[in-house]
Amino acid sequence: MLNRFLCKPASFAFCNIICILTCFTFCSPSVDKTPYKELRELAFETEYDDIGIKNPKGKTLVYGIIMDWPTQRELVTLATFVSGDASLFLTSGASFIGGGGRESIQKSSVRLIRKYAYLWKQGKKVRWTPNPDLNQVRFFFLTTQGTYYLEDTVEEIESDTSTLTPIFDEAQAVISEIKIEAEKAKDDDEED
């Protein structure tokens, strides 16, 4: 599954990054008219062996963390994997796929998972993936034993009264690295 994200040429991904910067400010179309839903589903369908993790022989390993974050204008989904890959999907249709090829994004993605993988034990196991909620920030922990999630309100997380504020801040660091890489790509394209 992950190969669907990774097989995109770098120039394709960076064109989409530039769209992210534009769409954060100006866009808010319907989810039904963008690839958001399909890309989000693909992230949840990623299995541990898709990213090169060998069978852990019954041990539970967290191989991915996915965050759904409702902003004022749209929904944002960040998908990070222990391989260092990170993808960002917005309901506006903008996306960034397979950031593991960029060292800063890779390090940030791996750091998020390593620091907060233990939280899966506090989560609720899901049999299907709930749709994003307009009032809740959700963290999904993709493990070798299934998917678990934790959630809290946007207000609690942003007011720093939630136990999920630290993982939210770390996820924001991954998004910041994606933005930095987008700016670099934009500057490189302008120089050409």
d(CA 141, CA 119): 8
Residue 113, classified by CB atoms within 10 Å of its CB into exposed (0-12), middle (13-18) or buried (19+), is buried
Q: Given this model, what pLDDT does residue 19 score?
A: 41
Residue 142, classified by CB atoms within 10 Å of its CB into exposed (0-12), middle (13-18) or buried (19+), is buried
Higher pLDDT, 162 or 23: 162
Condensed to tens digits (0 to 9), the pLDDT of residues 148-180 reads 999 999 999 999 999 999 999 999 999 999 888
pTM of the model: 0.80
pLDDT confidence tier of residue 8, bands split at 50, 70 and 90:
very low
Per-residue b/e over 47-66, b at no fewer than 16 CB within 10 Å? ebebbebeeeeeeeebbbbb
| Closest-CA residue to 135 (of 158, 106, 166) | 158
Residue 37, classified by CB atoms within 10 Å of its CB into exposed (0-12), middle (13-18) or buried (19+), is middle
- DSSP-derived secondary structure for 7-74: TS-HHHHHHHHHHHHHHHHH----GGGSSHHHHHHHHHH--GGGGTPPP-TT---EEEEEEEEE-SS-
pLDDT confidence tier of residue 191, bands split at 50, 70 and 90:
low
Through-space distance between the first and last CA atoms of the chain, rounded to whole angstroms: 34
Condensed to tens digits (0 to 9), the pLDDT of residues 106-151 reads 999 999 999 999 999 999 999 888 888 889 999 999 999 999 999 9
Condensed to tens digits (0 to 9), the pLDDT of residues 62-81 reads 999 999 999 988 999 999 99
Q: Break the chain down into helix, strand, coil percent, rounded to 5.
A: 50, 20, 30
| Closest-CA residue to 120 (of 45, 59, 48, 60) | 60
Q: Given this model, what pLDDT does residue 57 score?
A: 80
